[in-house]
Amino acid sequence: MKTLTKKILDIDAVRADFPILATRVNGHPLVYLDNGASSQKPTAVIDATDVYWKETNANVHRGVHHLSQKATQQFDKARESVRVFLNARSSKEVIFTAGCTAGINLVAQSWGRASLKPGDEILISTMEHHSNIVPWQLIAEQTGASVKVIPITDAGEIELDVYEALLSGKTKMVGLVHVSNSLGTINPVKQMIESAHRVGAKVLIDGAQAAPHMRVDVQDLDADFYSVSCHKMYAPTGVGVLYGKQALLEAMPPYQGGGDMIHTVSFERTTYAELPYKFEAGTPNIAGVVGLGATIEYLAHLGDQLLDAPEGDLATRLDACFGWIHQRESELTAYGTAALGEVSGLKITGTAANKAGILAFTLDCAHPHDIGTVLDNEGIAVRTGHHCCMPLMRRLGVPATTRASLGLYNTKQEIDRLVSGVRRVKEMFE
């Protein structure tokens, strides 16, 4: 039940939660518009990891001593928070990884080796990040399966009719990005998953750019696998989450062998631990996971301030927070698209009807690298290049783009500074 009111958060107070935003770069207040690459961290998260190192640090799941139990408790609590965050049925379906890429490789290798054979097909889209292309190419090479590509329109939307036509009994896996890191396109993954399931294919969703911007519900999507990068959603680097349906994960062989992932080991025969530990060989990034738990709590805390009854459960609090984030970022995206659109010679890359938080563009008189250098001179951080999407850049016919990617703390004033920076680039290079 949603009790979201029309209350709006004080953005200055929210920004004050992120200490790095007060930094000056090249004599200017920092304008951080590279959230798609990595987001900044609130004090609550920085402090939580700091306190972990100072007061809790010990290995999880093996010690009987006080600190190990305390660390294990915090680690398990974070897993339960992630379960709510993604709306997984069980925390057994929540596997901690090193990042979104690691999660995709886990599925490609573990599921792929057991399930793919010559003649099978893996479908991916033109707008995939290299991390949702290369793992599939590797497993295809190893198993004799082939990778097929779903085309996109000039606006940057998946050609759904071609997708439907590509699906067949041969299709065993569909790898899809939920939100494109280069275009901002929000793909209709729920509908696409339904179609894939009709031919018996499994679907892995790359959620790296979705989780920071929208409430993800893996049950509603009916995703088989969903991989998340936590440092892009205000948590520390080096942590990712892989969601997988329990029955699939149980049937899959372990990906890496080692400590923590076993039940018993002998030189004759080893039995494996239950989920999720079967897929978590070795000591995990405990401090990172504790930080992730603090991030989810921080987002929920933002939600509290939007709710009439702040004592709601975690899911309700996150609903409120993401309702606010979505509204705020949509407004800023529309504002930025309009303002950049007024700059002559500028072309927005990715004009899908349904977009999240990405303003990518090319300028006819200047190369993205030069744009990035000039903007940096004014304290504005953007990403320039191919954004790990070389096949997409080829499809769009550009060598590279300049990308401003939004976070929950960005403001209209910052978009204004971006636009005047771009105008300065034009004055220089025209």
> Annotated active-site positions, please?
388
Instruction: Between 170 and 423, name the residue whose CB sits nearer to another protein.
Output: 423
Token pair for 344: 């002559």
Residues linked to residue 171 through DSSP beta bridges, in sequence order = 121
373 lies in the binding site for another protein (CB under 8 A): yes
Distance (Å, whole) CA 107 – CA 243: 10
Give the DSSP per-residue string, 312-344: --HHHHHHHHHHHHHHHHHHHHHHHHHHHHTST
Q: What x-and-dash track marks residues 18-37 binding another protein by CB under 8 A?
A: --------xx----------
130 lies in the binding site for another protein (CB under 8 A): no
Distance (Å, whole) CA 208 – CA 182: 12
- In the numeric block, the tokens 């940096």 are attached to 376
Closest CA to 173 of 232, 225, 101, 96: 225
Instruction: Between 130 and 148, name the residue whose CB sits nearer to another protein.
Output: 130
Least CB distance to another protein at residue 370 (A): 5
424 lies in the binding site for another protein (CB under 8 A): yes
Instruction: Between 27 and 118, name the residue whose CB sits nearer to another protein.
Output: 27
15 lies in the binding site for another protein (CB under 8 A): no
Distance (Å, whole) CA 333 – CA 187: 17
Site residue total, another protein (CB under 8 A): 19
* From candidates 370, 395, 420, 423, binder to another protein by CB under 8 A: 370
Least CB distance to another protein at residue 386 (A): 5
Closest CA to 134 of 105, 112, 156: 105
Q: How does 266-295 read in b/e, with b if 16+ C-beta sit within 10 Å? A: eeeeeebbebbbbbbbeebbbbbbbbbbbb
Instruction: Between 5 and 373, name the residue whose CB sits nearer to another protein.
Output: 373
Instruction: Between 29 and 399, name the residue whose CB sits nearer to another protein.
Output: 399
393 lies in the binding site for another protein (CB under 8 A): yes
* From candidates 113, 130, 326, 367, binder to another protein by CB under 8 A: 367
Please give the residue ranges that form the binding site for another protein (CB under 8 A): 26-27, 366-370, 373-374, 377, 384-386, 393, 399-400, 424, 428-429
